[in-house]
């Protein structure tokens, strides 16, 4: 069957990262390097993605799971050798295969698509994507003949002094006709400066065998940038982040300071929302229209409806409904579901709790494992005492209840609708509806006690 395949090379050790983790599992903008490459391949219409793993193979395989097929390269004997390890997964396939580096996450799906179209239109056995770089150090150089056609790719370590001056380099991204690739791989040798089987040599082999081989120059040279060390990880992250932010800007989102805003690749934001400086918006967060986000907020895996305002807050795996205000300095922990037109004010922490519409929790509260109704007022310093030292327990507060300042609600407890709890109470029993609950020591006055203590007043 003719379907488009891809091979992602991800077996290398990535020594210069100085990391316990395999290089391709390092993250930029919410995705690992190899996932960016994978997504670009699938985005270009690839049906079958093979990842060649080697160094810490199990970690990469556990991470990617069933999203791709794997080929194991036990010893890293070069990029050509890596592709050979996928032979058994390719040989019954017809059509074309795209080869990509698992450490070069900036390549766009459209670029791969374009390369493939030109590959097919020119009836090529192989097409390599190239880029013009002002500094070509470290890359394979594209050697073109008199007619301008590619003749070979020379690795830096094998290049002559003249070849080192060539600015057009190999991106490490190729389209191959599968049967021609397999034939060329069988002829590879490792007679070169690094003693490796170079995938790049398959092009010269195909050219010598009178097959068409093309070299297509990429417009945006940055797309070929690979990650070998932490500095390059940062450079790639900057480019990806700027691309993501520009996409949101063109969709109608205002980002006040793109250099100080970090948005993951899967985030969705609707128009007329304004993002203030210092925000990190992560995972698959969805933000509605006309929101004001930030400054200095970290929002991870949340869904936020329209007209929400969030200031200086941290929010994880939570849902915030329209017209609600969060912060400054609030903390929404996983499982918080906040209704419409709610106020979650300063130094308020909410965890695994449902907060009804129009409820106010304005200052210094903890609400965990609770269900709070609509139009409830949780006074300053009110606390849900959800943990008894062994188990987490649940508290339920009915609609229109008033919870006074500095109240402890010792879970499990139910406060029914319209109940009123006096400030400073420690509530351990159910409060019926429409009732006042006072659970605190009565005030005692000892007249002139202070003066008596200091012996200032001997008339009493």
* Positions marked active-site: 363
CA angle 430, 432, 437 (to 5 degrees): 75
For the CA atoms of 245, 246, 248, 251, the dihedral, rounded to the nearest 10 degrees, stands at 170
12 binds, among Ca ion, ligand UD1, none (CB under 5 to 8 A by kind): ligand UD1
227 or 270, CB closer to ligand UD1? 227
170 binds, among ligand UD1, Ca ion, none (CB under 5 to 8 A by kind): ligand UD1
199 binds, among Ca ion, ligand UD1, none (CB under 5 to 8 A by kind): ligand UD1
99 or 330, CB closer to ligand UD1? 99
Given a contact cutoff of 8 angstroms between Cβ atoms, the answer to whether 258 and 238 are in contact is no
140 or 345, CB closer to ligand UD1? 140
For the CA atoms of 192, 195, 198, 200, the dihedral, rounded to the nearest 10 degrees, stands at -20
159 or 431, CB closer to ligand UD1? 159
Determine which helix (DSSP H) or strand (DSSP E) holds 130, and give its type and residue range: strand 126-132
Residue whose pair of structure tokens reads 């400073």 in the numeric block: 424
32 or 386, CB closer to Ca ion? 32
Given a contact cutoff of 8 angstroms between Cβ atoms, the answer to whether 382 and 404 are in contact is yes
The count of residues interacting with Ca ion (CB under 5 A) is 1
12 or 294, CB closer to Ca ion? 12
Given a contact cutoff of 8 angstroms between Cβ atoms, the answer to whether 162 and 144 are in contact is no
| Phi, psi angle pair for 117, to nearest 5° | -60, -45
82 binds, among Ca ion, ligand UD1, none (CB under 5 to 8 A by kind): ligand UD1
To ligand UD1, the closest distance from the beta carbon of 390 in angstroms equals: 49
To Ca ion, the closest distance from the beta carbon of 228 in angstroms equals: 6
To ligand UD1, the closest distance from the beta carbon of 183 in angstroms equals: 18
Q: How far apart are CA 419 and CA 402, in angstroms?
A: 6
Given a contact cutoff of 8 angstroms between Cβ atoms, the answer to whether 141 and 168 are in contact is yes
To ligand UD1, the closest distance from the beta carbon of 107 in angstroms equals: 11
x/- track of binding to Ca ion for residues 372-411 (CB under 5 A): ----------------------------------------
Q: How far apart are CA 245 and CA 266, in angstroms?
A: 12
To ligand UD1, the closest distance from the beta carbon of 8 in angstroms equals: 8
226 or 398, CB closer to Ca ion? 226
80 or 226, CB closer to Ca ion? 226
Asked whether the bond before 227 is cis by omega within 30 degrees of 0, the reply is no
Contacts for 154-160 with beta carbons within 8 Å, 24 or more apart?
155/192, 155/193, 155/194, 155/198, 155/200, 157/192, 157/193, 157/194, 158/192, 158/193
What is the DSSP annotation of 211-277?
--EEEEE-SSGGGG---SSHHHHHHHHHHHHHHHHHHHHHTT-EES-GGG-EE-TT-EE-TT-EE-T
345 binds, among ligand UD1, Ca ion, none (CB under 5 to 8 A by kind): none
Binding site for ligand UD1 (CB under 6 A): 9-12, 52, 54, 73, 76-79, 81-82, 101-104, 139-140, 153, 155, 169-170, 172, 198-200, 226
x/- track of binding to Ca ion for residues 213-242 (CB under 5 A): -------------x----------------
To ligand UD1, the closest distance from the beta carbon of 353 in angstroms equals: 45
- CB-based closest residue to ligand UD1: 140
Residue of 359, 339, 340, 361 lying closest to 350 (CA atoms): 361
Residue of 158, 157, 156, 185 lying closest to 169 (CA atoms): 156
Q: How far is CA 265 from CA 167, 280, 299, 311, in A?
A: 31, 12, 14, 22
To ligand UD1, the closest distance from the beta carbon of 145 in angstroms equals: 18
To Ca ion, the closest distance from the beta carbon of 226 in angstroms equals: 5
End-to-end CA, the chain: 106
CA atoms within 13 A on the CB side of 84: 22
Interface contacts to Ca ion, rule CB under 5 A: 226
């Amino acid at each position: 069957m003719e379907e488009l395949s891809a091979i992602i090379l991800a077996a290398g050790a990535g020594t210069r990262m100085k990391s316990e983790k395999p290089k391709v599992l390092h993250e930029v903008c919410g995705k690992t390097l190899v996932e960016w490459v994978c997504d670009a391949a699938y985005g270009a219409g690839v049906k079958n993605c093979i990842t060649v793993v080697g160094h810490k193979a199990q970690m990469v395989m556990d991470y990617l799971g069933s999203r791709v097929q794997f080929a194991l390269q036990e010893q890293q004997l070069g990029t050509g050798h890596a592709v050979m390890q996928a032979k058994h997964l390719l040989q019954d396939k017809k059509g074309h295969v795209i080869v990509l580096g698992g450490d070069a996450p900036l390549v766009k799906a459209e670029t791969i698509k374009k390369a493939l179209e030109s590959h097919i239109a020119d009836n090529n056995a192989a097409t390599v994507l190239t880029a013009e770089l002002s500094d070509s150090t470290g890359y394979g150089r594209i050697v073109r003949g008199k007619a301008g056609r590619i003749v070979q790719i020379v690795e830096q370590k094998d290049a002559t002094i003249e070849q080192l001056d060539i600015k057009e380099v190999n991106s490490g991204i190729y389209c191959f006709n599968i049967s021609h690739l397999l034939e060329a791989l069988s002829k590879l040798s490792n007679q070169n400066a690094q003693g490796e089987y170079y995938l790049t040599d398959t092009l010269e082999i195909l050219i010598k065998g009178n097959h068409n081989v093309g070299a297509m120059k990429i417009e945006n040279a940055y797309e070929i940038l690979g990650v070998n060390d932490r500095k390059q990880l940062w450079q790639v992250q900057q480019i990806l982040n700027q691309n993501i932010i520009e996409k949101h800007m063109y969709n109608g989102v205002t980002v006040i300071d793109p250099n100080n805003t970090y948005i993951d690749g899967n985030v969705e934001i609707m128009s007329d929302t304004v993002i203030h400086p210092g925000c990190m918006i992560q995972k698959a967060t969805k933000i509605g229209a006309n929101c004001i986000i930030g400054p200095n907020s970290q929002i991870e895996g949340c869904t936020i409806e329209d007209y929400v305002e969030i200031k200086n807050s941290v929010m994880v795996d939570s849902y915030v409904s329209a017209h609600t205000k969060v912060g400054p300095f609030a903390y929404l922990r996983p499982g918080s579901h906040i209704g419409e037109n709610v106020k979650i004010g300063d130094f308020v922490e909410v965890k695994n709790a449902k907060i009804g519409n129009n409820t106010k929790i304005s200052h210094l509260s903890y609400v965990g494992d609770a269900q709070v109704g609509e139009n409830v007022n949780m006074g300053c310093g009110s606390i849900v005492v959800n943990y008894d030292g062994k188990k987490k327990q649940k508290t339920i507060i009915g609609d229109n209840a008033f919870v006074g300042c500095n109240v402890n609600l010792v879970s499990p407890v139910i406060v029914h609708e319209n109940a009123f709890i006096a400030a400073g109470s420690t509530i351990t029993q159910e409060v019926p509806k429409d009732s006042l609950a006072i659970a605190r020591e009565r005030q005692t006055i000892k007249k002139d006690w202070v003066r008596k203590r200091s012996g200032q007043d001997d008339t009493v």
